Amino acid sequence: MAIPNQTEVIKDSSMLLQKSMIADNYDELTNTQETGKKISSTFVPGNLNELVMCFDMLNNLPEINAINNGMRKKSGAMVMQAEKHGHSEDVCTYVKADIGSMSRGNIAPNGKPMPSPDLLLLSYTGCFTFMKWFELLRHEYGCETAMLHVPYEGDGIITQNMRDYVVKQIKEVVIPALERVSGVKFDIDRLRENLTNSAKAEDDFVWVLESAKNKPSPIDAYFGGVYYIGPIFTAFRGTDKAVDYYQLLRKEIEQRIAEGKGPITPEGDMKDERYRLVVEGPPNWTNFREFWKMFYEDGAVVVASTYTKVGGVYDLGFRHDPTNPIETLADYCLGCYTNRNLSQRVDMLEKYVNEYQADGLLINSIKSCNSFSAGQLLMMQEVEKRTGKPGAFIETDLVDPRYFSAANVKNRLESYFQMIEQKRQGVRSAA
Amino acid sequence: MKCFIGIDLGSTTTKAVMMDSDGEILGRGITNSRSNYDTASQVSKLEAVVSARLELCHRALSAVPAMHDMVDDLLAALERNFRLELFLNMLEDLKETCLHNAADLRHAEISDQLATALNETFERMKTQLSKLFASGVERKSDFFRDLAGSVYMNVSEEVAEEAKLPFDVLINIYDKSIIETENRPPAEDLVSTFARALERVMDEQDNLPVESQLIRDLVKENLEIELEETYVVGTGYGRVRLPFPKEHIRSEILCHGLGAHLMYPNTRTVLDIGGQDTKGIQIDDQGIVVNFQMNDRCAAGCGRYLGYIADEMNIGLHELGPIAMESTKAVRINSTCTVFAGAELRDRLAMGEKRSDILAGLHRAIVLRAISIISRSGGVTSEFTFTGGVAKNEAAVRELRQLIKENYGDVTINIDPDSIYTGALGAAEFARRAVEA
C-alpha cells in the first residue's frame, strides 16, 4: 500500500527541532572515541536521565534504537537475524531488533557504528523482559551492569517500604556504579538542577497533553503524541534543550487552538474531527504512517493514550521534585504506566474516556509484548461497562513487520468508526 | 419501482440482495469473486435482478386464482429454461474465446486440428450440460466455471485422444479462456432471454387452466417494470476496489449484524465464518453492533481451510460436510494452521484413521477457534445466529451446536438456508435506510 512520500511530509517547527536534537544525540553517542564520554544504556520506563547526566555520561536507549529502525523499515531484517541466532518468534521484537542490530554492526541512524556501552543501567519497571534483555547484552558486552529493581504496584499504591527499597538501591548500587564507570563524583546539587529543569518541561508537557480536551483537539495524543513524548521520555529530560522544546511546542499548540485547527498529520492539518478516541497500547512502528492514515483519513483523532505515559504519568500529578532528589527518582520509577496494576490502568482509561469526551476506547494489542497485552480484553470490557462507550480491539506488533496486516487492521478500524456512527444515529433517533 | 441493492464482495463469493421500499427482499444473486470484483459485482447484481424478475412474476401469477396450484412449477420451469439460455450463451462465448486462443501462433502447426477438436468438444459439452437443466436434476454448483470446467476436462481428454492431439494444450487454452470469459461483463438483455425461455416453457405446457396469452401478458408486463437502482451499498473485502463513493460502503461487520437482526430480530450474537475471516459480533435489539472480535492477520480456521482440505483429499468442497457426518469416532486435530492440518491429515490417514472421522475432527478444530473468538467478543447470552458460507456445512453446524451447548447451555441457534446472503441483506437495508429513513 502506498504511504505518503516521505519528502513531502508536513512537519511543525517543534518536530524539526526534535529531529535535530535526536540527530545531535546520535552524533554525540557515535563520537565518544574522540570526546572520551562514557555511555550508559538504559530503558525508557523508569530511566534516570537526570542522575546519569550528573556523571557527564550519555544515555543510550535500545528501545528507541529499535523504534528508529522500525520506522526506517530496517527492523524486519534485524528481527530475522536474531531468530537465526536462536531467538524464538514469540520473544519481544524490541529485543530481537536490538540483538539483530548488534550482529549487523550496530549502525546508528547517522551511519556510524554505535560504540559499546560502558554501563548497563537496568531499571526494571513493569517489564520482566527488560531483565532478560540486559542479561543478553551483558553477555555480549561484558560491561558493568547495575540493576535497579522496582517493585510492581500490585496493590495499586506506593508504600513507604517500596520507596525506601528503591532509594536504598539508588544510593548503594546505582550511584556507586555510575561513579566507578565515569570517574566523576556524585554531586547532589547538580541533580537538583537537572530535576528543576525536568519539572519545568513536565508542566508544559502536561499542558500539551491536556490540550486535547478542546474540541476540535489541536493534537493527536497517540500518533502525534509519540513525537511529543520524545524529549521527555529519552535522553533530554532534565536538560535546557527539553525545557526549550516544550515551550516551543506549547506555543505551537496555543496557536492551533486560537486558530481552531485540528492536529498536524503527515499530510497537513486534519480537517474534520469525527471521532475522538482513547488508545491503549504502543503503536506499530513498521507501518506507522500507514496506520496513522487509517485514523486521520476517517476523521479519527486520539485524544488520550496510555502509551504516552510509559515514561511517566505526569498528567496524574507526578513531577520530579528537586527538594527530594533521590526519593523523587524512586517515585518516578514506581509510578510509570507499565508498573501500574490492571485496576489502576482501568481507572485511568475510564477517566480519559470521560474527561476527554471520547467516543470510546481502542486497544492496540501487541503480539510480542505480554507486559502490555495481558488482561487488555478484560480492561476493555470493564471500561465499556463503566463508561457506556464502545470499545474495539486490534492486533499488531512493535517492530516486526510480519505482524502488521493492513487489510485486517483497516477492516476493524472502519467497522469501529461506523459502529460509533451507528450508535450516535441510534441515540439520535431514539431521542 | 425503487430498488435497493446490497452487494457483499467476499474473498470467495460475491453476493447481492435486492430490496423494495418496504424492505421486502425481491431477489438474491451469487457468483464466484474470480479476483475481479467489478465483474463479480455486476454478475451478482444481474443474478439478483433475475431472481427479482421471477419474484415479480410469481407475485403477479399468484394473484390469478386459477393459476394458484401451478405457479411454482411454471416459474421453476421458466427459471430453468432461462438459466439454460444464459448458460448456452456463456458456453458459446467460451467456445469462441477458446477458438481465438487456439489460433495463437504458438500452435500454428496444429491450429486447424485444434479448431476441429474444440468444435467437437463444445458440441459434446453442449449436449451433456443441457441435461443439467432438465426438470428434477440437481446441479452440484451454480457457477459456470465449475459446471463447464469439469465436463471440459473429461470431454477434451476423449477428443484429444481420438484426434491424437496433446491434451495439455487443450487444457492451457481452456485455462486462459475461462478467465477471459468470466471477466467479460455479462450482456444485460434479460428481457429477450426471458422471452425465449418463456416460449420454451409454453411449448412444454398443455392443459393450462387459463389462456396462454394471459400468462405471456403477465410475464411481459412484469419484465417491463423498471427496476430502478435507487441506492447501492457495498460491503466485504472487495468493497475498497469498487468505484463506490465512501458513503456507499459499509463494513461487513455492521452488515452481518444488521442482516442477522432482520432475519432473526431476537439475535444478540452473530458468528460469521467466511472465506478468510471469522467474526464474533454482538448486537443490540436494533441490530446495532456493540462489540466484535475477529481473527487477526492469520486466517487459519476460516472457510478457505476447508477448501484446502477438500483439495488435499481430492473431493469437492460440498462433499466435506456429508462425509464428516458419517463419523463414528472423535479424532482430535490440533492444528488450525492450514498447512499443518494438511500434514496432520496425511499422518492420520497413514495411521489408518477413517476419512470421515478425520474430517469431523477438522470441522471441530475450526469451530473451536470460532468459539474462542465468540467468547472474546462477549460470549453468547441470548439468541445466536450463524452466518457465512461455512454455515451451509452440516458438519460444522453439528460441532457448533454441540460446543455452544457445552459452553453456553440451551440457547436458540438460528441458521438460515440463505445465511450466505446475510451481509448483502444488511447492506441492502443500509441502502434502503439511506434513502427512505
The pLDDT tens digits for B161-215 are 998 988 999 999 999 999 888 888 776 677 788 888 888 888 877 777 788 888 8
Measured over all CA atoms, what is the biggest interatomic distance in chain A, rounded to whole angstroms? 72
Q: Does B381 touch chain A (CB under 8 A)?
A: no
What is the spatial distance between Cα B360 and Cα B286, in angstroms, rounded to a whole number? 36
Partner-chain contact A408 B293, CB within 8 Å = no
CA distance A378 to chain B (A): 9
Q: Does A412 touch chain B (CB under 8 A)?
A: yes
Partner-chain contact A392 B288, CB within 8 Å = no
* pLDDT higher than threshold 70 for residue B299: no
Instruction: Report the Cα A73 to chain-centroid distance in Å.
Output: 19
The pLDDT assigned to B188 comes to: 62
Q: Own/partner pairs for B140-144, CB < 8 Å, 24+ apart? A: B140/B316, B140/B318, B141/B318, B142/B30, B143/B31, B143/B32, B144/B87, B144/B90, B144/B181, B144/B182
* pLDDT higher than threshold 80 for residue B235: yes
Contacts of B253 in chain A (CB under 8 A): 411, 415, 419
* pLDDT higher than threshold 50 for residue A301: yes
Closest residue in A to B246 (Cα) is A298
Domain ranges of chain A: 28-430
CA distance B22 to chain A (A): 19
**Contact between residue A15 and residue A97 where contact means Cβ atoms under 8 Å apart:** no
The pLDDT assigned to A97 comes to: 92
- What percentage of chain B exceeds 70 in pLDDT? 97
Q: Does A392 touch chain B (CB under 8 A)?
A: yes
Same-domain status, B358 and B291: yes
The pLDDT assigned to A429 comes to: 59
Total residues belonging to chain A:
431
CA distance A395 to chain B (A): 6
The pLDDT tens digits for A157-213 are 999 999 999 999 999 999 999 999 999 999 999 999 999 999 999 999 999 999 999
Same-domain status, B116 and B64: no
Total residues belonging to chain B:
437
Same-domain status, B18 and B144: no
What is the spatial distance between Cα A93 and Cα B363, in angstroms, rounded to a whole number? 34
- Preferred mutation among B291, B374, B375 to probe A, highest tally of A CBs within 10 A: B291
The pLDDT assigned to A89 comes to: 82
* pLDDT higher than threshold 90 for residue A239: yes
The pLDDT tens digits for B145-175 are 888 888 998 999 999 999 898 899 999 999 9
Partner-chain contact B254 A418, CB within 8 Å = yes
Contacts of A395 in chain B (CB under 8 A): 296-297
Q: Does A408 touch chain B (CB under 8 A)?
A: yes
What average pLDDT does chain B have?
Answer: 88
Q: Does A411 touch chain B (CB under 8 A)?
A: yes
Q: Does A381 touch chain B (CB under 8 A)?
A: yes
Partner-chain contact B296 A411, CB within 8 Å = no
Instruction: Report the Cα A115 to chain-centroid distance in Å.
Output: 24
Q: Does A388 touch chain B (CB under 8 A)?
A: no
B289: nearest CB among A393, A404, A422? A422
The pLDDT tens digits for B324-380 are 999 998 888 876 677 777 888 888 888 899 999 999 998 998 898 899 899 989 999
ipTM over cut 0.85: no
Contacts of A384 in chain B (CB under 8 A): 291
CA distance B254 to chain A (A): 7
Partner-chain contact A415 B376, CB within 8 Å = no
The pLDDT tens digits for B75-114 are 888 888 888 888 888 899 999 999 999 887 677 788 888 9
Same-domain status, B276 and B236: no
The pLDDT assigned to A4 comes to: 46
* pLDDT higher than threshold 60 for residue A430: no
The pLDDT assigned to A3 comes to: 46
- B383 — pLDDT class (breaks 50, 70, 90): very high
Contacts of B250 in chain A (CB under 8 A): 418
Closest residue in A to B252 (Cα) is A415
- Preferred mutation among A396, A422, A429 to probe B, highest tally of B CBs within 10 A: A422
Is B369 a domain residue?
yes
Distances in Å between the alpha carbon of A220 and those of A211, A217, A265, A304, A308? Answer: 10, 7, 8, 8, 11
Is B157 a domain residue?
yes
Is B197 a domain residue?
no
- A336 — pLDDT class (breaks 50, 70, 90): very high
Chains A, B: CB contacts within 8 A come to: 53
- Preferred mutation among B278, B296, B375 to probe A, highest tally of A CBs within 10 A: B296
- Preferred mutation among A365, A366, A408 to probe B, highest tally of B CBs within 10 A: A408
* pLDDT higher than threshold 70 for residue B233: yes
- Preferred mutation among B281, B289, B377, B436 to probe A, highest tally of A CBs within 10 A: B289
CA-based nearest residue to B57, from B78, B29, B82: B78
The pLDDT assigned to A255 comes to: 96
Same-domain status, B300 and B389: yes
The pLDDT assigned to A322 comes to: 98
What average pLDDT does chain A have?
Answer: 92
CA distance A65 to chain B (A): 26
The pLDDT assigned to B68 comes to: 81
pTM of the model: 0.84
The pLDDT tens digits for A146-163 are 999 999 999 999 999 999
Is B159 a domain residue?
yes
- Residue listed under C-alpha cell 538501591: A169
Contacts of B295 in chain A (CB under 8 A): 408
Closest residue in A to B292 (Cα) is A392
What is the spatial distance between Cα A413 and Cα A116, in angstroms, rounded to a whole number? 42
Is B79 a domain residue?
no
Helices A288-296 and A406-430: crossing angle, nearest 10°?
A: 20
Same-domain status, B296 and B366: yes
Same-domain status, B97 and B234: no
The pLDDT tens digits for B241-268 are 776 788 889 999 999 999 999 999 999 9
Q: Does B329 touch chain A (CB under 8 A)?
A: no
- B297 — pLDDT class (breaks 50, 70, 90): low
List the CATH number of the domain containing B297: 3.30.420.40
CA distance B77 to chain A (A): 42
- What percentage of chain A exceeds 70 in pLDDT? 97
CA distance B277 to chain A (A): 9
Q: Does A391 touch chain B (CB under 8 A)?
A: yes
Q: Which of B183, B201, B231 is the last residue of a domain?
A: B183
Is B409 a domain residue?
yes
Q: Does B396 touch chain A (CB under 8 A)?
A: no
Partners of A392 in the β-ladder: A362
**Contact between residue B197 and residue B84 where contact means Cβ atoms under 8 Å apart:** yes
Same-domain status, B274 and B407: yes
Report the number of distinct structural domains present in chain B: 3
Q: Which three cell numbers stand for residue B388?
A: 457465512
Contacts of A420 in chain B (CB under 8 A): none
Range of the domain at B118: 91-183
Distances in Å between the alpha carbon of A144 and those of A122, A174, B185, B228? Answer: 11, 11, 72, 78
Contacts of B288 in chain A (CB under 8 A): 419, 422-423, 426
